[in-house]
Structure formats: C-alpha cells, structure tokens
Structure 1
Amino acid sequence: MQEGYEFIQNRVKQYGADLFEARILGQKAVCITGEEAVKVFYDPELFQRNGAAPKRIQKSLFGVNAIQTKDGAVHQSRKRLFMSLLSPVGVMELGQLARKRFKEASESWERMERVILFDESAEVLCRVACEWAGVPLKDEEARERANDFNAMVDAFGAVGPRHWKGRRARERSEVWITEVIEKVRNGELMAREGSALSEWAAYLDPDGESLDAKMAAIELINILRPIVAISTFIAYSALAIHDHPECRNKLAAHGEQYREWFVQEVRRFYPFGPFLGARARKDFTWKNYHFTEGQLVLLDIYGTNHDYRLWEFPKDFLPERFRDWDGNLYSFIPQGGGDPARGHRCPGEGVTVEVMKVAVDFLVNEIQYEVPEEQDLSYSLVRMPSRPESGFIITNVRKR
C-alpha cells in the first residue's frame, strides 16, 4: 500500500532476483517478474486462478465467482463466448460506435467551460458499450452507470471509502443488469440476436445448466466494465500527446501505423494493472525455488512492462519501439500474458487498442482544444489504480 506499482520491482532490485517471498494480506506470497516468470505463471499445469482473488476484489472489481476465478472446462467455455463476442468483427463494430459517439459528444463539449476528459470519455464509452451489447440505457443515467463501472475498477487497490464506493457501485450494477437478464428470459425484453446480452442470457455452462440471472449479469458486466475503463487509457493518451508534442505531429502525419505504435506505448508506459494473482496447482520447482500446492503467487505487470532486459530505455516514452515488436505475448503484458484464447489473458485487449486508436485520432484530427495550466497532470505510482489526478482537463473545444 505504501509503494504501489513499484513494490515488486523495488525488491527485485534489492535482492537481485526475479523471485522473492513476501507477506501480503496476512499470508505468505511469492512475487515474480520478467518474461520467463510470465511463461510459468500462464502454464495451466502449474497455476490456477481459483482461490487467488480475495473476496474483497471479487465483491468490487470482478464479481463473485466470475470467469477470472475459474479454471478448466468452465473457464474455457465462458472464455469462448467472450472471445466470440470480442472477435475482429465485434472489435470493428465497437470502434465504429466509439467514433460516432465521440463526434456526437464533441458538440456538447464545445458548449462546456471545461471538459474532464476521463469523466466524459467514460460516459461516451458507457453508451458505446451498452449500445453494442444490446443493454438498454437511458440518456439520463449514462453518467451514473459510467461512474459505477469506473468505481469498481478504482476499488481494486483501495481500502476504506474508495473500496466501499466500489462495492456499492457493483451492487447497483448487478441489480440493474440482473433485471435486464430476467426481462430477456421472460420475454419482456427482446435482445438483439448475437448481442452480448442475448448470448449471456441464453448461455449454458459445460454441465448444460443455465447461469442464474445474477451470474449471467456478472459476466455481462465483465464485458461492459472494461470497455468503460478504457477512459483511463484515453486520459493517459491525451497526457502523452500533451507531454510529447512531437508525437502529435507524427500522429497527424503518419496515420494508422504510428497510431498503433503510440497506443501500445501508452499501454506499456503508464500504470494501469500493477500485478496479477494465482495459486500453485501442485508442488514444483522453478529457479531453485520450491512452490507448494495452493501457494499464492503475484506476477509483476508494471515491472515486466518496464524491464530493461526486455525494453530499451524502459522509462522513456518511445512509440517507435513497437516498429519492430515481434508480438511477444510474454514480454508485453498490460492486460495479462499468454494466448487469450487458451489462458487468462484479457479477451478484450483488441477492443482496448481499437477504441484507443479511435480516441487518439479524434483528439488529434477531429477537434482542437487547450490544456489549462491550472490542473494537476501528475499520476501516482502508489495509488492503485492510477490515472492523471485532474482527469485531464481541456477547454475551448472546437471541431477542426
């Protein structure tokens, strides 16, 4: 809690090792970092997710007994549905909706004295997510729903008021989406065929049983919430454009290719997920350390993305580093590692990249704005999750 994103890296440097023991939340844990650690962590023969996520995180971020806590056939079955919904076609549809909704939002932004980009982007993305998923959303409740989705994320590394705010937000969201699922199932609401709402309402687990309405709602929220959470990456993207004006010029001049490099560097450089947890499935030895069955293990996300052995000048913001990136699924892990189709890596990573590219193109080529000096553009490496303190405020917004 005192060191945040750098907790694991601080000790890796101190001990000169990619592995060390620590006590986390009153229990012994092993912290690991680096590319080889990622490969081991995502080996389903060695690690499982069941029992790794504390109940306090399930009750705020993931939802109790959600896919992030599952292994084996149940995990694979639910993951296939996530992957099918978030296919290239689904990603393209989400990107098109995001482009449309950001353009619509710019009309109201022109009339606003100041725009807090994090908040406004969250509302835009909440509308996008619900429209794409087939979930009815009233205009007047979009901001409240967006705030609730982001409150769940904000509760991840929090204790006290922030944590309880996230728990209350999850409770409200689960009541809302459970009611929607029930209306689809009893015929009161027609869900668009093939939509996320339709698919989760009709989903059967490997045992042939329907999920209860609340569990189906939890998994549907696990699609909606991460889309809204892209607002954090959008705020970071705006910060990167502001701090690196040479990038703005390249984004305007070089188009799609440079935009891809840019958003990937935003995901690598700025703090988002600090670490991931799993438990050893069996006894085994790695790097001369004996892991015991059930042992808690934390994989260092932030440190691996800033590992000098994997990234030249890791503390510098350099989009061009992705010019020759080989697509390694174990060295670049902003949303987890390994193959998303077979393991626990986030299936929505393509959505994140596409929506970020749409937002960056919008900020650079669709609108003009000013960035007032009277705001706090810093971000903390202790607060988890982190984002620009001011939410990135822009003023005098106008279309190009």
Structure 2
Amino acid sequence: MTEEYQMPKEEGIDHSLGLLKEGYHFISNRSKGLQTDVFETRLLGMKVICMGGKEAAEIFYDDKKFQRQHAAPNRVVQTLFGKGGVQALDGKEHRHRKEMFMSVMTQERLGELARITGHQWELALNRWTQVKQVVFYEEVQEILSRAACEWAGVHVEEDDIKETTKNLAAMFESAATAGPKHWVGRNARNQVEKWMTELVENIRNGKVKPQEDTILHRFTWHRDLEGNLLSPETVAVEIINILRPIVAIAIYINFIVLALHENPEVTTKLRSGNDRFIQMFIHEIRRFYPFFPFVAALVKKDFTWRGYDFEKGTLTLLDLYGTNHDTKIWDNPEHFSPERFDKREESLYDFIPQGGGKYLEGHRCAGEQATIEIMKVSLDYVVNKMEYHLPNQDLHFSMTSMPSIPNSKIILENIRRK
C-alpha cells in the first residue's frame, strides 16, 4: 500500500504576478525554496501542480496519467498552437496525426531543408554585404520564413514575404503576452489561417496543384483514423505548425551569435569542422539559453506519485528550462560548456529543450531534428562564410519575456564574405 503525503504547497491566494515577474525561473525558484521538484501553487485562481527534473518529466510524458487536450490556455491556442492541432491531441488520434508530421522528417527531407536553408543564407549574405548594418534577428526570421515555405511547398509572392514572416513571428512572440501585443498575434494567426484554409480548399477543388511530394500536398490529403479528410481549417493549422516553428529557430540562431561573442574560444574548434563538437555546441545552445519555459498538461485520472495525490483535471506544468539547468542532472549548469555533451548518454527526459519522451508515442517536438539541421547550416555561415562587426549594443536578454532574445536583436555591421 502506497503511503500518502501532503504535496508541498506555496502559500498565498494567487501567484500569477510572481510568474510574470520571475518568468523562466518561476518554477525552479519555488522548487529550491520548498526543497522539492513537485509542488502546488495557484495561478489565475486555479490550483496548479508544478514539476521539474528527469523523474518528473518521465511521469509527465506518461499518456496514461496526463492529457494535452484542453490543457493550453486559450490565449496560447489563439496565437501559438491554433485550434485542433497535434499539440492538443491524445492517444491513438495523437499518434496518427504525429505520424503525418514524422513522415516528412526523414533524412532525405531534412537534407532538402538544409539545402534550401543554405540557399536562402546565400541570398541574404548577398544583400547584407550591400548595407552598413542589419538587425540579425529580423533578417534570420525572413531567411527561415522563405526556407520553410519553400520546403513545405507553399508559394509566397515576393511582395508578400515580409508580411508572411511578420505574421508567423507574431504567433510565437505574442503567446505569453496580454493586451495589444496579444491581439497582434491573434490577428496574425487569423490572417495566415484564412490564407492557408483557402489554399487547401483550392487544392481540393483542383484550382491549385502542388507537387505531390510536398508537405502541403501530403497534409491536404491526409485522412484521420476514420478515413476522413481533415477539415481545411485543421490542415491550415498543421501546415502553420510546420512554418511557425521553423521561423522561431531564429531565436536559437541569435543566441549562437551571442554565445560566440561571449565564448570566443569555441570559434577555433567550430572552424575545425569537427562534427562532434558542432553537435555539442548546438546542444549547449539549446540547453543553456531560454526557449520554451514550460509545457502544460491535465491530470488524466487520479493517481499517486511519491505519495502525492494527483487529482483528475488538475493543470500541471513541467519546467523545461529548469530541468535543463537542474544541478542534479547538470554539473555547473549556469556555465556555457559544449564539452558537457561529450560522451554523455542520450536520455529522453533530462535534456528537454523541445519536450521529452519519444516522438511518436509522446509529445516531443516532431521538428527537433529539423531545428538541429537548420542550426548547423546557420552556424556554418556565421562561423565559416562571413565576417562581421558586432558594435556596442544591449546584448542582455530578459528571463521574464517569453520568448527571450537579446534586447538589441543583435545588430551586425560591415558584413563581408570570407
């Protein structure tokens, strides 16, 4: 018989303001204060369980204990995820939809994505050498927007590419905001979903004929477990779930430049072409810098873990950032050190910048390998194919803004080809 204990609890009526003030550190700060990796708090008037660490992640990604449907706040659905997307599915329906995504993440297709991304870097470098300075974050967003649309088979007119980039970026830049910025993201999603829904409808009625090997074609004609085509609106959401996350990789690429600036000793190793070190460096970027703060799920059924009761329907947050900085997992986690990944055993639950668990059976991001491939191509250009000057600017980044990027968005001057 399992002995039951009272779950550690943060006292107080509500701690939503604390979440806004502490951001990425909200869960880990309380874990340290309460000396536990699982505790209860209250956010927006609701009871919420917060968890962090390898063992907590393993439980969190057990689909028999947690569900994703209805877990995400409405403002996140209206901006980041969209209605009916793969993130909110569970069980057989989730696995079937996830298979659709994983079918386009083959080695061959990822190689094509890398090739397209490299081509867009070439074109961008041609432009940058003609101007005095660029805002790197915004420029990389456009590179990735162009690459994502081409890879997915979505044609965008040249006159529309900047607006498309702006709208895709607004979806992830507004997900954790309120007020005017939230409505900018919501309007951006509405615009892109409308465009994409009409595109899917035009494909199905024969007015538009994409190549059959494209993501656009495959998603448009995908059938659910009952053999029915997905609604055009759902297809639109899932195509955006390809495009938007690729544009969001601009956050990591900005941090690549910051890491090189603050750790110049790694540049020589990266230029040596050592594939192993390049992989370690990219992993450390994804571990060290803030990206997703946490992910949400609902307790699927009553269960007990470590003697603590988890009641059905309770919102639960898994601390991604805190787990990637957990001193029980990582030695000196606040120090940037790619070497920490040398000879390190792979784990599904302790290195979780884009979620944990398995790709098909769980909710780990289907695009994780795409992220790594795009980062490799981008790193190669930054380190080996261009020279630039980093002028004085505000390179600090917030641990309360989500997502977080350097305040200056990284300004580069006097860019030249090597």
TM-score band by shorter chain is over 0.9
- What is the Cα deviation at residue 367 of structure 1? 0.5
User: Equivalent residue for 1:102?
Assistant: 121
Q: Which 5+ residue runs of structure 2 have no aligned equivalent?
A: 1-19
User: Equivalent residue for 1:250?
Assistant: 269
- What is the Cα deviation at residue 325 of structure 1? 1.9
User: Equivalent residue for 1:207?
Assistant: 226
Q: What amino acid is the match of 1:397?
A: I
- What is the Cα deviation at residue 194 of structure 1? 2.2
What CA distance in whole angstroms lies between the structure 1 residues aligned with 2:335 and 2:229? 49
User: Equivalent residue for 1:90?
Assistant: 109
SS in 1 for 2:414: strand
SS in 2 for 1:6: helix
Does structure 2 conserve the Cα–Cα contact (< 8 Å) formed by 1:38 and 1:337?
Answer: yes
SS in 2 for 1:3: helix
Taking the TM superposition and a 5 Å limit, the aligned residue runs for 1:11-30 are 11-30=30-49
- Which of 191, 211, 217 is the equivalent residue of 1:172? 191
Does structure 2 conserve the Cα–Cα contact (< 8 Å) formed by 1:55 and 1:64?
Answer: no
User: Equivalent residue for 1:46?
Assistant: 65
Q: Which 5+ residue runs of structure 1 have no aligned equivalent?
A: none
Kindly tell me the number of residue pairs found equivalent between the two proteins: 399
User: Equivalent residue for 1:272?
Assistant: 291
What CA distance in whole angstroms lies between the structure 2 residues aligned with 1:3 and 1:44? 30
What CA distance in whole angstroms lies between the structure 2 residues aligned with 1:47 and 1:154? 27
User: Equivalent residue for 1:385?
Assistant: 403
The ranges of structure 1 where at least 4 consecutive aligned residues each deviate by more than 3 angstroms after the TM superposition are none
Q: What amino acid is the match of 2:361?
A: R
What CA distance in whole angstroms lies between the structure 2 residues aligned with 1:165 and 1:175? 15
Taking the TM superposition and a 5 Å limit, the aligned residue runs for 1:360-399 are 360-373=379-392, 375-399=393-417
SS in 1 for 2:21: coil
Query: 1:216 aligned to 2:216?
Result: no
- Which of 346, 359, 364 is the equivalent residue of 1:345? 364
Taking the TM superposition and a 5 Å limit, the aligned residue runs for 1:125-274 are 125-274=144-293
SS in 2 for 1:341: coil
Q: What amino acid is the match of 1:217?
A: A
What CA distance in whole angstroms lies between the structure 1 residues aligned with 2:110 and 2:101? 12
- Residues 278-323 of structure 1, C-alpha deviation per residue, up to 9 Å, x if partnerless? 0111110112210011111000000000001111110000011111
Does structure 2 conserve the Cα–Cα contact (< 8 Å) formed by 1:52 and 1:279?
Answer: yes
SS in 1 for 2:194: helix
Taking the TM superposition and a 5 Å limit, the aligned residue runs for 1:3-18 are 3-18=22-37
What CA distance in whole angstroms lies between the structure 2 residues aligned with 1:98 and 1:256? 19
TM-score scaled to structure 2, two decimals? 0.94
SS in 1 for 2:69: coil
Q: What amino acid is the match of 2:200?
A: I
What CA distance in whole angstroms lies between the structure 2 residues aligned with 1:207 and 1:163? 36
| Same amino acid, percent of matched pairs | 44
- Which of 348, 355, 380 is the equivalent residue of 2:374? 355
What CA distance in whole angstroms lies between the structure 1 residues aligned with 2:321 and 2:92? 30
What CA distance in whole angstroms lies between the structure 2 residues aligned with 1:143 and 1:257? 36
Does structure 2 conserve the Cα–Cα contact (< 8 Å) formed by 1:58 and 1:65?
Answer: no
What CA distance in whole angstroms lies between the structure 1 residues aligned with 2:252 and 2:360? 23
- What is the Cα deviation at residue 143 of structure 1? 1.6
What CA distance in whole angstroms lies between the structure 2 residues aligned with 1:209 and 1:41? 31
User: Equivalent residue for 1:73?
Assistant: 92
- What is the Cα deviation at residue 64 of structure 1? 1.2
User: Equivalent residue for 2:52?
Assistant: 33
TM-score scaled to structure 1, two decimals? 0.98
Q: What amino acid is the match of 2:394?
A: D
SS in 2 for 1:85: coil
What CA distance in whole angstroms lies between the structure 2 residues aligned with 1:341 and 1:237? 29
What CA distance in whole angstroms lies between the structure 1 residues aligned with 2:131 and 2:178? 34
- What is the Cα deviation at residue 253 of structure 1? 1.8
- What is the Cα deviation at residue 256 of structure 1? 2.0
What CA distance in whole angstroms lies between the structure 2 residues aligned with 1:101 and 1:383? 29
User: Equivalent residue for 2:137?
Assistant: 118
What CA distance in whole angstroms lies between the structure 2 residues aligned with 1:303 and 1:349? 19
What CA distance in whole angstroms lies between the structure 2 residues aligned with 1:318 and 1:324? 14
